Chains A and B, each alone.
Chain A
């Protein structure tokens, strides 16, 4: 049974059809990349999966449960975590407090008027920070972190409620090349260890071809190719779309960076 099943998803903004009848499935234990040139509809697609946008047509199923049209809050409670293209964290809180917040929400303690938030779920938050390699910066305010570090904090935040599915919108944008491969390597490990699924969008073809188990290619709102990295690399249509853009595509012999998976 597929963890995530998307059927005939469509969204238009005025006259522009951003996503036009997309179908795909993602299973547990899979790291799936959603790629495509700028404006292909990747982020729109993501926003419909986690409830930020309501699709014009089509359905989204999580473990066979229809989650179409639920709000981002409800989708999160069903077990879908999300990181954003431009990181969204709480800059006036420390790193560890940023991870404590989803835990507080997960345990339904948002409306507790007594006690101290900083003392709740601290150990669990520290474990998550340890996982993403941010434990040593736990007490720094999030507002002063480097962008690459923010991306890692966001990953810890997204993992906090033990999601079954993680949606990552350009998880490595703004990171140094070495860091990128390391972060996606870490993500791949988490996918296997926790038996969850990750769907991510990415422009860096190294990251995509080194880590993804499967690749979905979106162009002008339509899914034009789908398959394992090797097949996508050889796909003539995909080559055409990306001609002159992605080095990784034209260089099948290229080796992944050491330190990756």
Chain B
């Protein structure tokens, strides 16, 4: 009994830190409508800076707490810089591009942290004055944990006073409800946004700094916390601080007790709770249903247009070039060409659900990883060949997409996207933790293709065939009645329902199709590499796919394919010359979003009009290209 009480208290202590970070994210989103992916990085920076400050400042309680507060303030200042230099330029860009820019920051911060503090875990000192433990029902309990338990409700109360008893807080609440109206009333929005961002960053930094005595500071803290924070925000209800607190407690307690019951699959418990909450309260425990977003006046996507013969010949020429290419390349490059093709399929599958379905995913790697493991598990445990291995890849990917998609399509927009990320983390955790079956961290090795495709050249042609057919099918689907129905649901769910289209089901099918083709890419990748690892479904892989789609431009069907090509080739070459791929990629992402908020192909289409575009001009020019 005593043991359970202590475990429950441990859960509460963890909840406080999680709550600090989640409330910051929620406040920032409420006012600026930006999902700050870099919020986990701010948390990590808080921990690292606190670690350094503790070393520098004089020892003792005063020095220690000054270091903690100093770290939080420093992160708040970093937040101010980020808001002023970056975000302020992109408030008008599409939501996903803002996200991409903040993910660019994640990469930059991750690399800078590695450069400054090194890859080793850093153990901070324990907090002066709170080093001991107290006896609770005969069990020793660390005093610091009691401090943590108190911290959460203290910050919650402080935020409540701030938002309900100050003029600034009233403005923030007003802006959360109706940003345009607050601007129209003459409030200086720019400074309101900056101050909100600083507060959110400060909370994240504080959340990281107070972790110092509890866990070793390490460079995986950023992505680890952001996934949990997304779960907390989705479960608690976006924009509700009390909801974030309740959800943080719920999730932390689940983790604390889950470890006792199912040490291998704690995240599955979290998943079950999240699923239950979302079925009964799709907007989270204390969230409110969101009205339809206010569409910016005068901005409409032009209709899809079938491309003429010119495009067909162009595709055939590309295919012919791709068929000849391996004969001109050394073997090493054939494998890279395979990777580019696989990335193109992976990106196109995500592009399909984003472009046609209007559904963003931050966790598309879930289906890539499931595909890879489907193939690898079939080969490892049933000794099947490549053909059946790929079939198993599709089967597992399909199953995952059916299950997760069911929940994701119940939410909309950025909430749904956060949920996809949470699901991807669950897949990752299962692959990582289910050691007996998946090999855990070590992955599964020896997943080589059958004899008939064992040579690099033969495998290249297999990849090319699968990818070409898949891309063709995806394109056909976009123009098929189903693709139109999916787009109808995206354009106006209200009208779609009023003409008999079951929007949620159509979206679900669209989601499953995207997962299916991502799994195909994953299966091909498993045989290409000869091994699979949990990393295949990690957040960076998800973001890779998102970057490829957004790089190409989300408004065009072939954009993701172009984006994948550019991205992969860039990656290969940058990796050859420098260790700092992440840093460079991050800077490139931030720069691209500022320079081309519509993506590369989107930019070219907008700039050079009709030459190779997929869109008819919005002036209603005759559809000259509507050829067979």
Contacts and interface: CB of A to CB of B under 8 A. Distances in A.
A160 B481 CA distance: 16
B92 interface: no
Q: Which 10 A-B pairs have the closest CB atoms?
A: A143-B300, A88-B495, A117-B484, A90-B491, A102-B499, A140-B620, A92-B301, A112-B481, A105-B500, A91-B300
Contacts of A157: 495, 499
Nearest to B619: A144
A190 to B, nearest CB: 18
A156 to B, nearest CB: 12
B502 interface: yes
Contacts of A160: 499
Contacts of A2: none
Contact of B303 (A71, A88, A97, A116): A97
Contacts of B483: 117
A94 interface: yes
B476 A91 contact: no
Interface string B484-507: 110110111011111111100010
A91 B301 contact: yes
A90 B494 contact: no
B482 A139 contact: no
Interface stretch (A72-80, A234-242, A243-251): A72-80
A200 B496 CA distance: 21
Nearest to B495: A88
A100 B479 CA distance: 13
Interface in A61-118: 71-73, 76-77, 82, 84, 88-94, 97, 100-102, 104-106, 109-118
A141 B620 CA distance: 7
B303 A73 contact: no
Given A90-B491, A91-B491, A102-B499, A114 B485 contact: no
B623 interface: yes
Given A117-B480, A141-B302, A110 B618 contact: no
A92 B498 CA distance: 18
Contacts of B622: 139
Given A73-B501, A101-B499, A90 B492 contact: yes
Contacts of B487: 90, 92-93
8 contacts: A73-B501, A76-B498, A89-B492, A90-B488, A106-B500, A112-B480, A141-B618, A157-B499
A111 to B, nearest CB: 6
A84 to B, nearest CB: 7
A84 B499 CA distance: 12
A2 B491 CA distance: 36
Contacts of B156: none
A114 B303 contact: no
Nearest to A108: B500
A175 interface: no
B340 interface: no
Nearest to A160: B499
Given A89-B492, A92-B304, A141-B303, A116 B500 contact: no
Contacts of A84: 494-495, 498
Given A76-B499, A111-B509, A92 B481 contact: no
Given A88-B494, A116-B480, 19 more contacts: A73-B497, A82-B498, A89-B491, A93-B491, A101-B496, A101-B501, A104-B484, A104-B485, A111-B506, A112-B480, A114-B476, A114-B480, A115-B481, A118-B479, A118-B626, A140-B620, A144-B619, A161-B499, A161-B500
Contacts of A101: 484-485, 488, 496, 499, 501
A161 B303 CA distance: 23
A: contact size bracket: 35 or more
Contacts of A73: 497, 500-502
Interface in B614-628: 616, 618-620, 622-623, 626
Nearest to B513: A113
A27 interface: no
Interface string B275-292: 000000000000000000
B468 interface: no
Contacts of B604: none
Contact of A93 (B477, B484, B618): B484
Given A139-B622, A139-B623, A90 B495 contact: yes
Nearest to A104: B481
A91 to B, nearest CB: 4
Most buried by A among B482, B488, B500: B500
Contacts of B300: 91-92, 141, 143-144
A101 to B, nearest CB: 5
A199 to B, nearest CB: 15
Interface in B498-532: 498-502, 506, 509
A110 to B, nearest CB: 4
Contacts of B623: 139
B499 A93 contact: no
A116 B498 contact: no
A115 B302 contact: no
Given A90-B488, A92-B301, A110 B479 contact: no
Contacts of B584: none
B306 interface: yes
Contacts of B620: 137, 139-141, 144
Contacts of B618: 141, 143-144
B398 to A, nearest CB: 15
A50 interface: yes
A22 interface: no
Contacts of A90: 487-488, 491-492, 495
